[in-house]
Amino acid sequence: VQLEQRLRQAVIRQEFCLHYQPIVNLDDQKITGVEALIRWQEPKLGIISPDKFIPIAEETGLIEPIGEWVLQQALTDLAHWHSLGFKISMAINVSGRQLLGHDKTSFTCLLKALLQKNNIEPQYLHIEITESMLMDDTEHCMTALESIRSLGLDIYIDDFGTGYSSLSYLKRFPIAVIKIDKSFVDNMLERESDAKLIKAIVMMGQSLELKLVAEGIETHAQWKMLQALGCDYGQGYLFSQPLPAQDLESFLHQQT
């Protein structure tokens, strides 16, 4: 309850900021896009991780104003980077209540309006959802995702492999990219079963003509193995931590 009150104030006082983690092409390490990751700078408690407050935001409905702020900020920053000539893409995490909302078309309308306002072509914006969201409210989820897809955005499945869902949804839903969860990458060099699992995910993704992103790459050896297995893109501390907007801009300048 304490944290909920503070979160309510945080929305009004705009205590949030976004960090951006580069997503690179595993063949040449070049940045292709970023994932926006929210941070809450609480005046007394310091920086609070989204793992702590997103669930509360979901329960209380505060996820709607917070999610709207995230989109606004991320697209403003993206438009700025595009204006500098860095044509990267932006992946945004979206939770169930945000996607389905109180009104089924509100999220799509917001996306459309913000893309127009910032003059960003839709193929540069990606929406990340988790597997479990597809299982919770399949019909509504399908409608929402179809309408996002029809705007021209790609949909990513985040934390892939950690849920309990059937694989058939990968074909049924309009999904373009699978993000292989960090937990598999962590142990892939020590545990053959994890390496085999990643190999199976990559092969399945390729046969469905999906692209693959590996998360949480921390070592050179993990990078090289994922590349050998046919994974297209990656993110992780090896390439870069999530960065404040200013630092991301420096990162972009250094790369070219």
Site for Mn ion, rule CB under 5 A:
93, 128, 158
Nearer to ligand G, 168 or 183 (CB): 183
Residue 158 in the binding site for Na ion (CB under 5 A): yes
Residue 255 in the binding site for ligand G (CB under 6 A): no
Cα separation values, 94 from 37, 70, 113, 217, 254, Å: 11, 10, 17, 23, 30
Q: Count of CB atoms within 10 A of residue 224's CB?
A: 11
Nearer to Na ion, 215 or 232 (CB): 215
Contacted entry of Na ion, Mn ion, ligand G, none for residue 242, CB cut-off 5 to 8 Å set by kind: ligand G
Contacted entry of Mn ion, Na ion, ligand G, none for residue 127, CB cut-off 5 to 8 Å set by kind: none
Contacted entry of ligand G, Mn ion, Na ion, none for residue 50, CB cut-off 5 to 8 Å set by kind: ligand G
Contact characters 99-138, Na ion, x per CB under 5 A: ----------------------------------------
Nearer to ligand G, 94 or 202 (CB): 94
Residue 101 in the binding site for ligand G (CB under 6 A): no
Q: Which of 15, 58, 159, 186 binds Na ion (CB under 5 A)?
A: 159
DSSP H helices, 166-241, are 169-172, 182-187, 192-207, 220-229
**101: alpha, beta or left? (left if phi > 0; alpha if psi -120 to 50):** left
d(CA 141, CA 157): 13
